[in-house]
Copies of this chain bind each other. A is one copy, B any other.
Amino acid sequence: MSPLSRRRLLTSAGVGAAGLGIGGAGFLVGQETAEANAEGTGTVEFYGPHQAGIDTPAQDRLHFAAFDLVEDDPQALRDLLEAWSAAAAEMTRGEPVGDENDLLVAPPDDTGETVGLLPSSLTVTFGFGPAIFERPALGLSGKKPAALAPLPPLPGDELNVLESGGDLCVQACSDDPQVAFHAIRNLARIGRGTVVMRWSQLGFGRTATTSRSQATPRNLMGLKDGTANIRAEDTGAMDRFVWVGDETDQSWMRGGSYMVTRRIRMLLEIWDRSSLEDQEQTIGRRKYSGAPLTGSKELDPLDLEAEKNGKPVIAEDAHVRLASATVNDGERILRRGYSFTDGVDESLGELEAGLFFICFQQNPERQFVSIQRRLGQFDALNEYIKHVGSAVFAVPPGAQRNGFVGEPLLA
């Protein structure tokens, strides 16, 4: 039986065919239509020159997972990426994983929790951690890009090794959290025996704008986050700051990017006790409008030279100043993070919550690391945050149709 598209099922069911069977036991469903339309209906193409999930307008929800290889077996790694890519392509089209989902005598290939849901703009983005290039048995040591290295210690790091690193990563973004969960779960299932999950992170709300079509969301500090982010429509900036180009020493990375993730715990109780003025001085923007302290509208440019009573209007240690391209030799990054909460921090008796920061760039040392060195040392925001998780991954270019992500590296 060919995989049945969830979208196709819905279309059929929409014609009133409750109980209609297709091909036997039937990956089919009667009364699924009523609510499905409330969720995003978009389908994002899996195949292409770049992996989806980087310049795709940031979806609402995230499920992220990092995996470690069980064995240093190059064939197993290649098989995994091939199977993962095929499954990701199916899921992004809204189809169940695999072909055998209605044989009574076997476990279904797909776990089934998205039957009846729309593709919901799912993207699945794969990355390789630095460690896989260091293991002789994998045979990849000659292929390590110079730009890929574990992040150096950074000022203010309080990293938990259990929430950091990983040989491989999968970023699943979707407008429906169940669709993102389903992707990670089924990829983990396909990988069983080859990889173990090292850590994972659910993100409940996007905190970055990556397209001119999107409004700027607020992070859990109540601040608009991502106003100055690169927009995917700015192809000049994407080529200069995000996509790996001819400057790379490893041709298999051309068209790819480098991803840095940081689990940033927000100390919300302390933040919530600071005055509105402190909050606005700390960030350098108005809380409600998002306008820089030197402007009146969100998109007004920062005026880092402006002074009042002999002091800079945007303080020397304001977050927006230290993160700005002006202060960072013109360097920028594409941010694509999500808010998270993971229960109660028992040591503080408050919600364990914050920002799961994700960024993409051409060169982590030149971009994220340089910017974070400055921020980690001087940013007034440091009083209210802790970086507790960290990872870096080489995100190869997209797969060709019938090919797989990482094929030029692993073939």
Contacts and interface: CB of A to CB of B under 8 A. Distances in A.
A252 interface: no
A333 interface: no
Interface residues of A, number: 92
Given A36-B215, A107-B273, A289-B30, A19 B297 contact: yes
A165 to B, nearest CB: 13
B199 A276 contact: no
A275 B105 contact: yes
B291 A19 contact: yes
A220 B115 CA distance: 11
A289 to B, nearest CB: 6
B197 A351 contact: yes
A409 interface: no
A176 to B, nearest CB: 8
A353 interface: yes
B350 A197 contact: yes
Given A215-B36, A268-B111, A178 B197 contact: no
Given A223-B112, A350-B188, A178 B200 contact: no
Interface stretch (A201-209, A363-371, A392-400): A201-209
Contact of A184 (B19, B181, B198, B351): B351
Nearest to A9: B288
Interface string A332-359: 0000000101111010011101000000
A274 B107 contact: yes
B287 A112 contact: yes
Interface string A264-288: 0000110011111101100000111
A272 B111 contact: yes
21 contacts: A18-B297, A19-B296, A19-B297, A25-B276, A29-B288, A29-B289, A30-B290, A31-B299, A33-B215, A103-B275, A104-B275, A104-B280, A107-B274, A111-B221, A113-B339, A177-B204, A185-B353, A188-B351, A192-B269, A342-B342, A342-B343
Interface of A: 18-19, 25-36, 38, 40, 61, 63, 101-108, 110-116, 162, 177-178, 181, 184-185, 188-189, 192, 196-202, 204-205, 213-223, 268-269, 272-277, 279-280, 286-291, 296-299, 339, 341-344, 346, 349-351, 353
